[in-house]
Chain A
Amino acid sequence: MEPDGQLKPSSLSTTDLPWQILWSKKKCCLCGRCTAVCPVQAIELGVHRKRVLQITLGLAEKPGNVFSVYHGIRQRTDVAHACIGCGMCDMVCPNHAIVPMHNDEPDKLRFHINQGGVPRRRGGRRNARESLLDEIKFVRISMLTDPALDAGRHEFELRTLLGRILPPEEALRVSREGGWMPPVREIYPLILGGMSFGALSPTMWEGLQMGVAYLNEEMNIPIRFCTGEGGCPPRLLRSRFLKYIILQIASGYFGWDEIIHALPEMKEDPCAIEIKYGQGAKPGDGGLLMWYKVNKLIAAIRGVPAGVNLPSPPTHQTKYSIEEAVAKMIQSMSMAWGFRVPVYPKISATSTALAVLNNLTRNPYAAALAMDGEDGGTGAAYNVSMNHMGHPIASIVRDAYLNLVKIGKQNEVPIFAGGGIGKNGNLAANSAALIMLGASGVQVGKYIMQATAGCLGSERDRCNICNIGLCPKGITSQDPRIYRRLDPEKVAERLVEVVVSFDTELKKIMAPLGRSTSLPIGMSDAIGIANKDAAERLGIRHVL
């Protein structure tokens, strides 16, 4: 080690990094694919000098050295090029000569990942692996007192309602008098949650759209896809497939110029309009599309110049109060489609959610409330927002539902829950748990990316570079050299597989509970949890 001040405060060794590259000289064939594929250039060609001592027996010859050079891999340790653990090097290596390993020592990189005074931004979700939803068990199994149903042979109606549902007395009166009946959509309880065109690559978006269309038209599964804040490609807006789409409007209004212009040419109404006021990954912060991803196409659809950061404001600029501005916005959006399309707000789960909900119950145009919990994913956010801001989804869904029960409006304003559903792979179980806590349906994004396109992100902070457009799988990249790795047809196929298997799993949960004719919304007697505090908080059975 040089004693002359070369050691900088942010000089790190591989030991200090979260991911370390293990490379085998023996197996490496020096093809260079790993260095080429590495999205962050964490590895480079290493020219290693090696000294071999040559000591012969006897005194005749003096010991000597032989210096040789060998070629291989060198892991870079500077902050900008720290390995992200994506493992693409391993994926492309013909000999499996290289693999990133997670450091079992807490890394030191975290103290330095704010070079230039810019806090870390990333994609993914909260780096915490635990999930309360995973702890919820389904305990009310139909045994001898009533027969369990057959998930494979009985008929199931797995549908939910999105829209303002009038109370029975009111619905009958309006029907009798021929008044305005709020639009209600009968949809599948799993919604593909707001992932924008821009956050996702064109191939990923196209793949998901094809999958959604197939599920609707061939499989009789009325699944819906929410666009996120980024508009919608013009051809889709003018196609019959628009009915499977929930158009999102958020504080940046990106893409809405295009949408408004397409209005007269729309063949179908969209499924619904989601007004995004917040999201679980970065509660109270606006959307963010970083400049890396704003290419010409994205810029055109969003109506902005290319190559600039697109941070949406934390709130809608017109928002003054929930009574006025939110109500007006809901009304304006309803009016744009002649009051034929449900319009609902999406907020970050927050301890103030009940105030929002109570207000919505008094607004006859509010069609639902979507809440996104602290484990929600995103394409780009400040790390601090992602890891520390937000409210868990389970308790807020329960509070909201019980609040509606108290005022007798549990069937009138459906609650949709998102954020961390299927975080550990248990998509159907987590969804069913939330439905039994009171949600009418769930919104899922991250799981879909992982399951349909092989997203590598994890809650051990693997990869998570969706924000800079270098997604090694081409899911969140806008660079054609990268996103052409992803075949949209295959994404569509996977989506169909994922949803069909979800459907079977949901039935496998509902059938033993003796439920098949309606979604078990609020069936809280069916669930239990070993954590006593959680049981008490959620008002469900404590089971040990």
Chain B
Amino acid sequence: MCRLFAITSKDPLSPMVAIRALDVMKEGHDGSGVGLFMTDLGGDFEQFRGGPILSGIFSNTGIKALDRYMMDMDFMTKYKLSFRPTKIPPAGTPRRDNYLIRVYEYPSGWENLPEEEIQRRLMQCRLQLREMGEKDESMMVFSFWPDVIMIKEVGDPTAVAAYLGLNRKELQARTILAQGRQNTNYAINIYACHPFFIQGMATMTNGENTAFVPIREFLMSRNEPGYSGYQSDSEVFTHILHYTLRRLHLDLETYKHIITPLKDEELLNHPNGPWLRLLKQSCRPLIIDGPNCVMGCLPDKTLFMVQDSKKLRPGVVGGNPGMFAFSSEMCGLDAAIPARDKSRDFQPMKYDTVFVGPERQEVGQWSQMDSLSRLH
């Protein structure tokens, strides 16, 4: 099983906070991989808030190809944090040439483009680079987005973090998602490592997605180039979120209603029953069947957690105003925020969505049985 940990804090934190939390939950994961999503960056990256950041792993030839591509696109490097590990990698971790985090300056021709077009083009660049490097594994690109850094690697999270030196002071963020396990249900592939990212939003999942194939087919037939990859059955959760927010222009509250709709009998008595029924019917292929706990981050830095409709996976949220963490297990939460009022810890059940907004003052909660807060 995977273990998930997410933290949001008003002061920037080192990703090691999350790595340590994964480590205390080690009994619950097999230490086969680690994935990090960081946003609302601190450290050296804070000054480059607007510029898109490319995160990935590149071979020496891959770097050259990347430079050529970015120059052709008229992107200029503003800042970089790349590390070339010289030590022997930990057991199970392949040797790589370059782990790269680069901040770019937008091409001059993009200046007057609408926001939506810029976002589309950023995604297109990420997908193109990924495709270019896919065959010979010379480029592995995880994200290309302002104020977002992603690091993924195969191997034990603590060992990988030490190997990569993730405790360096340049690397800090106020919102961090971390997951500790490679994809063991399908082939080992670094792209299968959670969290998954698309256009500013990321999710990670604990548990297998039994309805993966029909969901993937539905997403792939939406005529949206970003809905691709799917080396992991959990990537669809990120794309469903994207579909909900960007294509349907709905919100997080309805995301829960899409992936785990209420039963027909429950809808009969729900104040928004007819509308929710319509949503359930038209989004039927997006219904997940668990067992899944999904944690994610929205473009506005809201962190959230939802459970599948059978609530078969663990998950808890707790903290203090200014710092909250979501964790698969209580011990992970204890490791990250030991001084908190534990009586206010909350374990969301099958109807709940819990979230901490960008102001980080409290844990919000919606139940699917409540009437929708926004009129649809």
Contact = CB atoms under 8 A, between A and B. Distances in A.
A176 B210 CA distance: 33
B278 A181 contact: yes
A517 B287 contact: yes
Nearest to B219: A408
A171 interface: yes
A406 B212 contact: no
A203 B212 CA distance: 46
B255 to A, nearest CB: 13
B210 A514 contact: yes
Nearest to B274: A175
B226 interface: no
Interface string B84-98: 000000000000000
A522 interface: yes
Contact of B210 (A184, A186, A513, A522): A513
13 contacts: A168-B248, A168-B279, A172-B278, A175-B278, A186-B264, A408-B221, A410-B285, A513-B210, A514-B210, A515-B211, A516-B289, A517-B289, A523-B214
B343 to A, nearest CB: 30
Given A142-B208, A157-B264, A408-B222, A168 B282 contact: yes
A77 interface: no
Contacts of A186: 264, 281
A251 to B, nearest CB: 32
B335 interface: no
Contact of B310 (A184, A405, A517, A520): A517
B15 interface: no
B270 interface: no
A523 B221 CA distance: 16
B376 interface: yes
Nearest to B248: A168
Contact of A161 (B212, B281, B291, B308): B281
Contacts of A184: 281
A169 interface: yes
Contacts of A176: 376
B184 A145 contact: yes
Interface string B218-253: 100111000000000000000000010001101000
Interface stretch (A147-155, A467-475, A486-494): A147-155
B283 interface: yes
B275 interface: yes
B223 A161 contact: no
Interface in B176-227: 184-185, 207-208, 210-214, 217-218, 221-223
Given A186-B264, A410-B221, A146 B207 contact: yes
Interface string A130-172: 0000000000001001110100001101010100011111111
Contacts of A147: 291, 312
Interface in B296-349: 308-310, 312
A172 B208 CA distance: 30
A518 interface: yes
A435 to B, nearest CB: 11
Interface residues of A, number: 41
Contact of B208 (A169, A407, A514): A514
Identify the 5 closest CB pairs spanning chains A and B, nearest first.
A408-B221, A514-B210, A146-B208, A171-B282, A518-B287
B275 A410 contact: no
Contacts, number: 110
B283 A168 contact: yes
Nearest to A401: B217
Contacts of A169: 247-248
B376 to A, nearest CB: 7
Nearest to B249: A172
Contacts of A157: 263-264
A187 to B, nearest CB: 11
A521 to B, nearest CB: 6
A165 B248 contact: no
Contact of B223 (A146, A408, A513): A408
A411 interface: yes
B213 A524 contact: yes
Contacts of A408: 218, 221-223
A515 B289 contact: yes
A525 interface: yes
B207 to A, nearest CB: 6
A416 to B, nearest CB: 15
A251 B300 CA distance: 60
A161 to B, nearest CB: 6
A93 to B, nearest CB: 51
Contacts of A514: 208, 210, 289-291
B79 to A, nearest CB: 39
B260 interface: yes
A517 B309 contact: yes
Contacts of B283: 168
A217 to B, nearest CB: 15
B284 interface: yes
A430 to B, nearest CB: 20
A225 to B, nearest CB: 20
Contact of A149 (B207, B281, B310): B310
A166 B283 CA distance: 9
A522 B211 CA distance: 9
Contacts of B289: 514-518, 520
Contacts of A159: 264
B51 to A, nearest CB: 33
Nearest to B292: A146
A145 B292 CA distance: 11
A493 B279 CA distance: 37
Contacts of A145: 1, 184-185, 208
A274 to B, nearest CB: 20
A358 to B, nearest CB: 15
B141 to A, nearest CB: 27
A520 B213 CA distance: 10
Nearest to B220: A405
Contacts of A166: 282
Contact of A407 (B211, B213, B221): B221
A522 B283 CA distance: 15
B185 A410 contact: no
Interface string B1-24: 100000000000000000000000
Contact of B281 (A142, A165, A522, A523): A165
Interface string A357-387: 0000000000000000000000000000000
B221 A405 contact: yes
Given A410-B214, A514-B208, 16 more contacts: A145-B185, A145-B208, A146-B290, A147-B312, A154-B310, A166-B282, A171-B279, A181-B278, A186-B281, A408-B223, A411-B218, A411-B285, A513-B210, A517-B287, A517-B309, A518-B211
Nearest to A146: B208
Interface string A501-544: 00000000000011111101111110000000000000000000
Nearest to B309: A517
A157 B263 CA distance: 7
Given A142-B208, A142-B210, A159-B264, A516 B284 contact: no
Contacts of B263: 155, 157
A142 B283 CA distance: 25
A259 to B, nearest CB: 28
Contacts of B1: 145
A523 B211 contact: yes
B256 to A, nearest CB: 13
Interface string B252-274: 00000000100110000000000
A206 to B, nearest CB: 29
Nearest to B308: A517
Nearest to A167: B282
B278 to A, nearest CB: 5
Given A145-B185, A146-B210, A154-B310, A517 B278 contact: no
Nearest to A144: B1
Contact of B275 (A146, A175, A513, A516): A175
Contacts of B217: 405, 410, 522
Nearest to B265: A220
